[in-house]
Chains A and B, each alone.
Chain A
Amino acid sequence: MNDKYDVVIGLEVHAELKTNSKVFCACANKYGSEPNTNCCPICIGLPGALPVLNKQAVKSTIKAGLCMGCEINDIAVFERKNYFYPDLSKAYQISQLVKPICVGGGVYVNNGTKFIRLDRIHLEEDAGKLVHKSEQVGTLIDYNRGGVPLIEMVSMPDMSNADEAIEFLTQLRSNLIYAGIAECKMEQGGMRCDVNISIKKKGSTELGTRTEMKNLNSFKSVARAIEYETQRQIELVENGETVLQETRRWDDERGKSFSLRTKETSQDYRYFPDPDLLSVKIERSLVDEIKKTIPMLPKQRKELYINEYGLTEYDADVLTTDKEISDFYNECLTVYKEPKKVCNWVMTELLKYVEKTEENINIPIGYENFANIIKMVDSNQIGQSNAKKLIEMCFGTEKTAMELAKENNMLNDINADEVEEMVKKVIADNPKAVEDYKVNGDKVLTFFLGQVMRLSKGKAQANVVRELLIKLLG
């Protein structure tokens, strides 16, 4: 049934900016403090308090815009979005409507084959948080988050399925993290997403009625919600019913969405320019200055890895998915400039140890040790298997790889005569295998090789041993 319809998806993505202070006051922008401790008359909306714009938040928004290829407006205006909710201390949110800081831009998905356009990126303040307690206590309000700078990145309705939506989100997220603009910790609400979905008959240019889904706090729930809502709308249309324009809330536990409000009962936010704030003039020179501070973003790093370092597209993709990994790789190259070799080691001997959650990435070894171990292998100072063991030994230690290798007697410190003695001993000890070798050749050679390596405690060089074996087994 799904192939009868096209799905049209647009996203509104919020990310909290990583600034020292809140967007309109001097309170700390900090997660996890005691409730209502990062608050002042301005962010709790006491009478008479006035907002003063944090220039750093504007700069970060400009930076975000530049990362996503947006145009930066010369003049930006803050407006009041008026509505009542207890987490909104002033009964209005300072946001932007007519003149946001950034317009246009977008990112590529599907291996660079499809461009997802952004409509805008604007700066606004976050609301506080309601904490629901027991019946007796009721609901409490924590205004610590109130006034935290938030950017809203609004896409055009250019995505056609959950995969594209997730890739779009991933790109926004990694760009923000790469550029140091936001941490995007989804479990902490540092990045949130609203999804707009409609369906239309395949190939039709007429858009269907869209619904908006709120409360999406992980990529997984975005994907699930899209699948669910697509299916729900298709079923409605197939059954001859109409899709209502409404706002829905995604309930991740139940895997369902529920209607919050329909268009008829939707809020009129009565936007108007905030008379307490001056319009923001953004000089070209400032934009140019900010441009210089943007580090290489994932897309550019990937191009560098493929074109300059000769990595495969797959490897480049894996290395750039997370900034931490890509940074680690880049740092390794400062120690040992062998991009392909380092890449292989990262792919096979590092990633398996990396602990990754949506919040955090933990790489258990320092780049210097990791790169030096590869260097030691390549210069025959240590054998492959010892190198792999050595990597594990480096976890959680201050010692250098070389110190550890020495302490554990892992360096290749045996001479050619000793190796030859060992080869001879192994041949002498395994007459059956010698017979077998004559019939089965290479397979048995591997057995001998293993025996010699074990005898040498991994210190013999495999290629030397192999040559000796072939010679002596004749």
Chain B
Amino acid sequence: MEILDLSVIELAEKIKAKELTSEEVVKVYLKQIEDKKKLNAVIEAFDDAIEIARSVDERIAKGEKLGRLAGVPIIIKDNILYEGKIASCASRFLKDYKAQYSSTVVKKLLKEDAIIIGRANMDEFAMGSSTEKSYYGPTLNALDETRVPGGSSGGSASAVAGKLAPCSLGTDTGGSVRQPSSYNGVVGIKPTYGKVSRFGVIAFASSLDQVGPITHNVKDNALLLEILAGNDENDETTLNVEVPNYLSMITGDIKGARIGVCNQVVSLMKDKEHFNSLVEWFKSQGAVIEYVDIPDIELCLPVYYILAPAEATSNLGRFDGVKYSTRAESAENVNEIYRKSRSEGFGEEVKRRIMLGNFVLSSGYFDAYYNKAKKLQQKIKKQFAEAFKKCDVIITPTTFGEAFKLGEITDPVQMYMEDIFTISANIASIPAISIPCGKGKNNMPLGLQILANENEEGKIYNVADYFENNYKESN
């Protein structure tokens, strides 16, 4: 089997068994990155990866006990800090910003002896659904270069689909891991809020952001999440619950599993036929279909576009050209440093959201927008909790359809609509995965989203793994 076709778990086993060296694996992937430069999925490949891989091989040769990802390459989204490496958030503003410390997720990867081989392109500051809003230019869909990879973790998803790495990390604030995973035919999860530490991840909307792994298959994903998850003393919002062994929760059986279908989601779908066939398939496999109501699910989008910009506007205040980030050369006093640096540094979509956030937080509007959105969020959370009394997981499409063409969506609101199916998981703080579920009219992948109640990632992985192994498109 070709190195590029091996899963994370297989790679780790073969490197550990000395059937492969980490060095050769890393070299193969670095060459892929070079060969597929056109995708623009990776902003920078890390030269020191080979050296680190070599030292892993040496330690294996010496018989040392290494981590669970020993020698396995991984790409991280460019908003995740890796000490000494640039973390630009695909923004002009941070194009030269070197991380002064490593994020908790990077530390966890390094502790398992993974090899971080590059940083992935993204929508600037994770604001976007197509990875067209990057200072470094758009990333292309690995399966059709005329199409977008989705976003904002488009680089991370395209990199896995294009086999530039066997796995990657993305971040998901409103669907930024799942929507690109769907568009690229890979597996991506947005964990329960607080499952994975945000320490060292450049914040977009702090109360919604979560790091999630993107992989070729469900088991790899389960392993990676288990490694990334856990309480972190550096992040108060991480949950204080034990991380289960997700792999052991994959039983290969979904008989009797209660699969929820949300009536309000069904009415939003453009193509009900494909989804209905999936529902029928689950039924045929012995699962029980439960129709549930989440009456206000449609309001997740407006709630999101109040809360996320509000937090973002505050989070992005620190990029002011004073301490780090690129200072406008023509600035002559402190107010000009702020005004000019920020005007030059941020792209249009980021500015749009900063404006939006400032508006909803302004005195006189705060109650009407922010507080109302917070109240609705609580209401929606309750509706989900109620729904999960009737079912183990809820299934929805990840997106309306296949990846759209580059430049096809220019209206920002239409772009925001891209998140309609994914955004509820962020609003409700619950986990959700996107896995490939066949192809659409253009022969591009479609994604099935599986949501579960807080801390029920195990249930998601079990259903997702079963689907991955048993579902065959009939048409």
Contacts and interface: CB of A to CB of B under 8 A. Distances in A.
B324 to A, nearest CB: 7
Contacts of A431: none
Contact of B94 (A47, A90, A268): A47
Nearest to B359: A270
The winner among A47, A89, A141, A271 for most chain B CB atoms within 10 A is: A47
Interface residues of A, number: 28
Interface stretch (B9-17, B160-168, B193-201): B193-201
Contacts of A468: none
A93 to B, nearest CB: 11
B236 A47 contact: no
B6 to A, nearest CB: 32
A272 B361 CA distance: 7
Contacts of B89: 47
Interface stretch (A48-56, A314-322, A335-343, A364-372): A48-56
B361 A49 contact: no
Contacts of B198: 48, 50
B317 A46 contact: no
Contact of B236 (A82, A141, A278): A278
A277 B87 contact: no
B81 interface: yes
Nearest to A42: B234
A44 B324 CA distance: 11
Given A82-B317, A272-B361, A272-B370, A48 B236 contact: no
Interface in A24-55: 41, 44-53
Interface in B322-341: 322-324, 334, 338
A228 interface: no
Interface in B196-220: 198-203, 205-207
A112 interface: no
Contacts of B207: 275
**What secondary structure prevails in chain B residues at the interface with A?**
loop
A268 B201 CA distance: 28
A414 interface: no
A94 to B, nearest CB: 11
Given A268-B363, A270-B362, A45 B236 contact: no
A91 B320 contact: yes
B343 interface: no
A190 interface: no
A258 interface: no
A365 B81 CA distance: 58
A47 B97 contact: yes
The winner among B99, B237, B311, B314 for most chain A CB atoms within 10 A is: B314
Contacts of A89: 318, 323
B233 interface: yes
Interface in A64-95: 80, 82, 84, 86, 89-92
Contact of B103 (A48, A141, A271, A277): A48
A130 to B, nearest CB: 10
A273 to B, nearest CB: 8
A276 interface: yes
Nearest to B203: A48
A274 to B, nearest CB: 8
A44 B237 contact: no
Interface residues of B, number: 42
A84 to B, nearest CB: 6
B97 A86 contact: no
A46 B200 CA distance: 9
A49 B94 CA distance: 16
A412 to B, nearest CB: 68
A46 B206 contact: no
Interface in B298-321: 310-311, 313-314, 317-320
B103 A272 contact: no
Contact of A48 (B199, B233, B311, B319): B199
A336 to B, nearest CB: 52
Contacts of B313: 82, 270
A51 B318 CA distance: 14
Contacts of A90: 317-318
A46 B324 contact: yes
Given A268-B363, A270-B358, A275-B207, A50 B338 contact: no
Interface of B: 81, 87, 89, 94, 97, 99-101, 103, 198-203, 205-207, 233-237, 310-311, 313-314, 317-320, 322-324, 334, 338, 358, 361-363, 366, 370
Interface of A: 41, 44-53, 80, 82, 84, 86, 89-92, 141, 268, 270-272, 275-278
19 contacts: A45-B318, A47-B202, A47-B318, A47-B319, A48-B87, A50-B198, A50-B234, A50-B236, A51-B236, A52-B233, A52-B236, A82-B361, A89-B323, A91-B320, A268-B362, A268-B363, A270-B314, A275-B237, A277-B236
Given A89-B318, A275-B311, A276-B236, 16 more contacts: A41-B101, A44-B323, A46-B101, A47-B203, A48-B99, A48-B198, A49-B199, A50-B199, A52-B235, A82-B313, A89-B323, A91-B320, A270-B313, A270-B314, A275-B206, A275-B237
